[in-house]
Amino acid sequence: MKRQCFALVLLSLVAAPTWAAAACSATIEANDAMQFNQKSIEVPKSCKQFTVTLKHVGKLPKAAMGHNWVLSAAADEPGIDADGAKAGPGNDYLKPGDGRVIAHTRLIGGGESDSTTFKVAALKAGETYAFFCSFPGHAALMKGTLGLGK
């Protein structure tokens, strides 16, 4: 019995760093039905950096059903989306050097994935942030909120 208790305590101590590291990242899935599998993300204040991995679980190619993950202040989303449509697919439907964009992945097609990492210090408590796909027409359905947690 003592051995089992010791083993459980030891296992929990070894696994703790893994749990802590997982809190500073999120994986979002996108599909061919123009949907993200998550509508909100909470970023812990304790994280120095936060990584988002986008996985396109669909089958359609980038030209037909490409997706990206873009983070901005919520108020900036419509302008970024409009400017991105003009920027075209060669720029992943994002205006080059757009200072309103906090972080973004590249545009990916079915079966692909990409990640982006941003500094949590760039987020302000109480501010509303939006994440969305900037492929033309997708932001109407493919969007969510991101907030700074505790």
Residue span of the structural domain in which 62 resides: 23-148
CATH number of the domain enclosing 49: 2.60.40.420
Does residue 93 form part of some domain?
yes
Does residue 3 form part of some domain?
no
The Cα-based distances of 20 to 1, 53, 115, 126, 133 in angstroms read 29, 17, 19, 24, 28
pTM here is 0.85
Does residue 9 form part of some domain?
no
Burial of 104 (0-12, 13-18, 19+ CB in 10 A): buried
Q: Cα separation of 29 and 23, whole Å?
A: 17
Where is average pLDDT lowest: 6-10, 42-46, 130-134? 6-10
Does residue 71 form part of some domain?
yes
Does residue 10 form part of some domain?
no
Does residue 38 form part of some domain?
yes
Q: Write down the pLDDT at residue 86.
A: 98
Does residue 39 form part of some domain?
yes
Asked if residues 54 and 68 have their Cβ atoms less than 8 Å apart, the reply is yes
pLDDT digits (tens, 9 = 90+) for 86-139: 999 999 999 999 999 999 999 999 999 999 999 999 999 999 999 999 999 999
Structurally, how many domains does the chain consist of?
1
Does residue 14 form part of some domain?
no
pLDDT band of 150, cuts 50, 70, 90: confident
SS3 of residue 40 by DSSP: strand
